[in-house]
A and B are shown apart, each in its own frame.
Chain A
Amino acid sequence: MTLDKDKLGELYGKVGVGNQTTLGIMGSNRDISVGEIFLIYSCRDNHERVFFFRVLGLENYLRQVDDIARVAGTLMVEGDSYLSGIERNMLLSVGGRMLGYAEKKGDEWVFNSPRRLPDHLASVYRPVPGTSDENVRTMLECQTEGEVYVGDLQVGEKTLDVPIRIPSKFLPMHVGIFGATGSGKSNLMMVLIKSAIDNNLDAFRNPEKNSQRVSAFCIDPHDEFAKGVDKYGIQHVVENMSASTRSEVIGEFYYLTTHKRATRRDIRKYTREIRILWSEIQPRDLYSIRDFTAEMTSFIDSQYNVKHEDWISTILNMDEEAADAANVQKGTLRAVKRRLGFLRRSPIYIEKGTSILSDIFSAMETGRILVVNTSLMSDREQFLLTTIVTRTLADMRRALKSSGNLGDFEKQGQMRLPAPFFNSVKTLARAFYGLGGVEDDSPVQDPRDLPVIQVTVEEAPSILNPELMKGQSVFKDISRQGRKFNIGLLVVSQQVSVLDNVILSQMNTEINLRLGNEREIRACIENASVNISGFENEFRVMSRGEAIVTQSHRELPLPIRIPLFDDIYEKDKHRYKDKGSKKSEEHIL
């Protein structure tokens, strides 16, 4: 046989009863924990396979004892009793789920859903860090490879050196991050941001690989990503880069905030203030974050049709007589004004001035990462910002997708986007989207060859709830069509149960951290992209930083431990230096 079984780990036990979904294993009396992964070697009909099994339940088992409670009682009552040669009869009955099996096809290991059964009494191996890593890594390659690193394969309380990555091409099919407060969402976000930066750095350094860049618009509701939670943050990654690398990978700025002056001095260099012009807001941006009655929407729509990008100023300045003349009820006008009122009070949404939106567009189209400090924004301001950015980026790419050449694109853009914004970015857009030129007749790129754009939706239930998604929400379109434009949502939420079904059914990757209660656990299991029924107990015992990653394009639900950002930064910080300087360092060493 080709496989070195010693490299699977230590021999732990034998397969007992079970079927292709659940198995019972009789194993030695070791300190096993729920969540451990065992490897079962099987060679039925000469097909060498390694089955992956996840421990979901444990029970002490004493051979030759049917009634363990009675024996315990006797030991207690008859003080002189003993258990003769009991050590070898003390076993652990381990129940759990089959995750699937790996087998070699040609030179490649492929992984399959659990549709077969291991041999009778097949040997069960317990992976040992340091011994089994390489084997497991090879066998699971098709389940773990990709560009965006999220964590390491967890086997019980330990991890193997098997990095779990998500392929960037699956990001536009939306990613969900679910976890209760304190489950490690912020750290995970920082790890993901770092992974995206690493991916882009790699793409920049190895242009011959032609790999795709990843852009991310990351909402940071507690302003922790840049500075970091503990010791290091994204700022350290940025600072560590040489100027040339930084300008290629990070650009001029990466940090967006409401109040630049309140930003720490070192970060301020890379900071832009968030300002959005009223003219860049479309009515459906607002419909996406709040519900409006039919009267209100018809009034807003009529104003938008007439006044276009000036619709907000027009409505806010409209007096009741003018409304009367336009056949609008006073109540409706007042209600709409009340709802738009926050724009007048907001420091972010301005009537006149310089907008950041074109810079955001430019950053997103060039594979940049933006950390958006929303800690000083109201919820509504934050939701509106996410909506506007998402809708603008999507509309730009939609215009591109529906065009044959740059001339077409410009027409499409004029039609779909507010004129002042489109006019300010069209030259740039032509440069990004044109294929071999910027002339009207130059053909355009396929959006799928452009950087993957990932937009974070924080506190997702506030905007991705069934009420708002019923109406004209821009997120409804994105969730269904995002993959066409290479734009994906990164939905971050403490709850799964309250999210709209459209987004849940379109979501193809879930990173499930520890959840708050039984209802969320149930919802999470029901909505997972692969069958993880039976993992209820797992969720109940998960600790901070542990997660189960489910992906519709992969058969295996992957238990992972997300490393602390500080640790991986320490490990990788040398990589951000210039290639040249790194080489010289090595030379000196």
Chain B
Amino acid sequence: MVFTDINNQQDRRDEQEFTKDETRIKERLLDTFTPYNPDVILENDFRVAAIDGSGTDSLMTLDDIRIHLLSTSTVVVDTNTQSENLFAPIDRESLESEIGEQPHIDIHWHSGVRGDARKKLAETLANIYPLKDVATLTLPFFRDYRPGEISAFSDFAGTEYEKHVPRLREMEFLISREQLLTNPTVHEEIRKVSEYAAARRLLMSDLQLKYLLLDGALSVFMHFVRHYPSMPSGFMLRDLCVLARQKNVVVCAVSKNHTIPFAHRIAGMARDVFGDNAKWFCHLPSSEDPDGGLHIYEDRTYIPPMLAVPYLYSFSRDNRPSRIDFDRIWWLENIFVPGDPGATRDNEKALFAELEFMSRDARWYGYPVPLALAHESCKLSYEDLRLAKEVCMDVRSEMGLERRKAQDLRADYDM
């Protein structure tokens, strides 16, 4: 039933839309590139960093209080083509001396008391993110979003933002989706900020990266009325992008489970055009690009994401295509050549050749190895969590606090 409905309603519509895009994708957006030779020796070996996080929003449940546990891990690898030890992680000691202990652990809790969620969340975020001055944190967004218009707080005068200015100076007021602060949302936000915090530490370090890979997408959720990010993480992302541009670091976000409609059709098309073994990418243009956005995602709100440029790519015939997002401002400065699609394409090809080169680890072929390593080192298994829970119980009993059950409530009924 469900599948019939999907087929009748959505697929049919998408099919029609896709037909309109097909030729454009095939001829202008989709392309392949020349991969590096396996024995290539780069003139300038470079470093790639990746950050991934993991966590649980219910390390412990004490009545209406939930304790969140977050683990964020940073990995830096070096292409090392000169020493033939490809993409070996830099040693742990030098990494930890630059950015602190790995993986990084954060804890958060709040109760169900009115306003408590927002207050505690704001405290935790302020605590986690290294840039403490909120005013400095909010400005980069406006600089990118309204380039040339707003570059300091004084520029808000006379704009639609004037009335919100006091809100842009307090972390707590940056959380403008208070009604939606469910446990998963809170958790998601802290996790993102924790990753962004790690990213900021990396960018401020002396590690001299060329790439900084994040897990997920570079989406920013906007407040519909106020027209600025509805959560602090949105501002932080723009802060990072500005910082990265200053430091010549390419920020990109990779997501395996993206929501690009008809990705499988694009992949099929790539196979038809370039053959089964081809490594390919496909630009997903936005309405601001020459010729505008694609029809298939015309009504899909977050594709392409604001201030980001998404691509679909595949470096391995065995896996479904993934999505990668770049900072749009960086992209306009470094990849896009106005009026010269050929030069733009050449820039894209060089970029993807490098990305592909860092995605050849046999364990995760086709997926960037630094991200895979970061994922491996941050992930919390059930066993890890069980141990963490036990530790919590022990700590409580050592502190002389009353013993309360810490497992999921459903465990009481053996469900």
Give the interface of A toward B (CB within 8 A).
62, 64-65, 71-72, 74-75, 78-85
The CA-CA distance from A65 to B364 in the complex, in Å, is 9
Q: Which applies to chain A's interface (DSSP): helix, strand, loop or mixed?
A: loop
Query: Is B293 an interface residue when CB atoms closer than 8 A count as contact?
Result: no
Q: Closest A-chain residue to B90, C-beta based?
A: A85
B362 x A85 contact (CB < 8 A): no
* CB-CB under 8 A for A71 and B373, given A82-B87, A84-B86: no
Query: Is B88 an interface residue when CB atoms closer than 8 A count as contact?
Result: yes
A70 CB → nearest B CB, Å: 9
Contacts of A71 in B (CB 8 A): 362-363
A67 CB → nearest B CB, Å: 9
B87 x A81 contact (CB < 8 A): no
B376 x A82 contact (CB < 8 A): no
Contact residues of B between 75 and 91, Cβ < 8 Å to A: 77, 85-89
A81 x B361 contact (CB < 8 A): yes
* CB-CB under 8 A for A79 and B362, given A84-B86, A84-B373: no
The CA-CA distance from A173 to B38 in the complex, in Å, is 69
The CA-CA distance from A334 to B47 in the complex, in Å, is 100
A84 x B365 contact (CB < 8 A): no
Query: Given A84-B87, A84-B88, A85-B87, 17 other A-B contacts at CB below 8 A?
Result: A65-B363, A72-B362, A75-B362, A78-B316, A79-B38, A80-B360, A81-B362, A82-B38, A82-B87, A82-B360, A83-B362, A83-B363, A84-B86, A84-B89, A84-B361, A85-B88, A85-B89
Q: Closest B-chain residue to A65, C-beta based?
A: B363
A85 x B77 contact (CB < 8 A): yes
Partner of B86, one of A62, A64, A74, A82: A82
Contacts of B373 in A (CB 8 A): 64, 84-85
Contacts of B89 in A (CB 8 A): 84-85
Contacts of B361 in A (CB 8 A): 81-84
A64 x B77 contact (CB < 8 A): no
Contacts of B77 in A (CB 8 A): 84-85
Most A CB within 10 A of own CB, among B35, B362, B373, B376: B362
Query: Is B369 an interface residue when CB atoms closer than 8 A count as contact?
Result: yes
The CA-CA distance from A84 to B374 in the complex, in Å, is 12
Per-residue CB contact flags for chain B residues 352-385 toward chain A (1 = under 8 Å, else 0) read 0000000011110100010011001000000000
Contacts of B362 in A (CB 8 A): 71-72, 74-75, 78, 81-83
B365 x A74 contact (CB < 8 A): yes
Could you name 5 residue pairs across A and B whose Cβ atoms are closer than 8 Å?
A: A74-B362, A74-B363, A78-B365, A82-B38, A85-B88
A84 CB → nearest B CB, Å: 4
Contacts of B363 in A (CB 8 A): 62, 64-65, 71, 74, 83
Contact residues of B between 199 and 219, Cβ < 8 Å to A: none
Q: Closest B-chain residue to A76, C-beta based?
A: B362
Per-residue CB contact flags for chain B residues 33-45 toward chain A (1 = under 8 Å, else 0) read 0011110000000
The CA-CA distance from A84 to B36 in the complex, in Å, is 16
B89 CB → nearest A CB, Å: 5
A71 CB → nearest B CB, Å: 5
A61 CB → nearest B CB, Å: 13
A80 x B38 contact (CB < 8 A): yes
Contacts of B369 in A (CB 8 A): 84
The CA-CA distance from A74 to B364 in the complex, in Å, is 9
The CA-CA distance from A65 to B373 in the complex, in Å, is 11
The CA-CA distance from A82 to B80 in the complex, in Å, is 12
B77 CB → nearest A CB, Å: 6
Q: Which 9 A-B pairs have the closest CB atoms?
A: A84-B87, A80-B38, A74-B362, A81-B362, A85-B88, A82-B86, A75-B362, A85-B89, A64-B376
Contact residues of B between 309 and 358, Cβ < 8 Å to A: 316
The CA-CA distance from A85 to B372 in the complex, in Å, is 12
The CA-CA distance from A63 to B373 in the complex, in Å, is 11
Contacts of A79 in B (CB 8 A): 38
Contacts of B85 in A (CB 8 A): 85
B78 CB → nearest A CB, Å: 10
The CA-CA distance from A85 to B364 in the complex, in Å, is 13
The CA-CA distance from A74 to B372 in the complex, in Å, is 16
Q: Closest B-chain residue to A82, C-beta based?
A: B86
B87 x A78 contact (CB < 8 A): no
Q: Closest B-chain residue to A84, C-beta based?
A: B87
B270 CB → nearest A CB, Å: 18
B84 CB → nearest A CB, Å: 10
Contacts of B87 in A (CB 8 A): 82, 84-85
Contacts of A82 in B (CB 8 A): 38, 86-87, 360-362
The CA-CA distance from A80 to B38 in the complex, in Å, is 5
Q: Closest B-chain residue to A64, C-beta based?
A: B376
The CA-CA distance from A583 to B186 in the complex, in Å, is 88
Q: Closest A-chain residue to B366, C-beta based?
A: A78
Q: Closest A-chain residue to B360, C-beta based?
A: A81
The CA-CA distance from A81 to B35 in the complex, in Å, is 12
Q: Closest B-chain residue to A72, C-beta based?
A: B362
Most B CB within 10 A of own CB, among A62, A65, A78: A78
Contacts of B38 in A (CB 8 A): 79-80, 82
Contacts of B360 in A (CB 8 A): 78, 80-82
B171 CB → nearest A CB, Å: 37
B86 x A80 contact (CB < 8 A): no
Contacts of B88 in A (CB 8 A): 84-85
Contacts of A81 in B (CB 8 A): 360-362, 365
Contacts of A85 in B (CB 8 A): 77, 85, 87-89, 373
Contacts of A75 in B (CB 8 A): 362
Q: Closest B-chain residue to A67, C-beta based?
A: B363
A176 CB → nearest B CB, Å: 47
Contacts of A64 in B (CB 8 A): 363, 372-373, 376
A197 CB → nearest B CB, Å: 60
Contacts of B365 in A (CB 8 A): 74, 78, 81
A80 x B35 contact (CB < 8 A): yes
B315 CB → nearest A CB, Å: 10
The CA-CA distance from A81 to B77 in the complex, in Å, is 16
Contacts of A65 in B (CB 8 A): 363
Contacts of A80 in B (CB 8 A): 35-38, 360
A581 CB → nearest B CB, Å: 64
Q: Closest A-chain residue to B357, C-beta based?
A: A80
The CA-CA distance from A85 to B369 in the complex, in Å, is 10
B398 CB → nearest A CB, Å: 19
A487 CB → nearest B CB, Å: 60
The CA-CA distance from A207 to B38 in the complex, in Å, is 78
A37 CB → nearest B CB, Å: 30
A117 CB → nearest B CB, Å: 18
Contacts of B376 in A (CB 8 A): 64
Contact residues of B between 173 and 206, Cβ < 8 Å to A: none
B305 CB → nearest A CB, Å: 29
Contacts of B37 in A (CB 8 A): 80
Q: Closest B-chain residue to A62, C-beta based?
A: B363
Contacts of A62 in B (CB 8 A): 363
B159 CB → nearest A CB, Å: 48
Contact residues of B between 139 and 184, Cβ < 8 Å to A: none
The CA-CA distance from A83 to B376 in the complex, in Å, is 14
Contacts of A78 in B (CB 8 A): 316, 360, 362, 365
A352 CB → nearest B CB, Å: 86
B379 CB → nearest A CB, Å: 10
The CA-CA distance from A74 to B373 in the complex, in Å, is 18
A14 CB → nearest B CB, Å: 16
Contacts of B372 in A (CB 8 A): 64
The CA-CA distance from A85 to B365 in the complex, in Å, is 15
B91 CB → nearest A CB, Å: 10
The CA-CA distance from A75 to B365 in the complex, in Å, is 9
The CA-CA distance from A85 to B78 in the complex, in Å, is 10
Contact residues of B between 12 and 45, Cβ < 8 Å to A: 35-38
The CA-CA distance from A79 to B362 in the complex, in Å, is 10
The CA-CA distance from A156 to B343 in the complex, in Å, is 64
The CA-CA distance from A89 to B361 in the complex, in Å, is 13
Contacts of A84 in B (CB 8 A): 77, 86-89, 361, 369, 373
Q: Closest B-chain residue to A80, C-beta based?
A: B38
A522 CB → nearest B CB, Å: 38
Q: Closest B-chain residue to A66, C-beta based?
A: B363
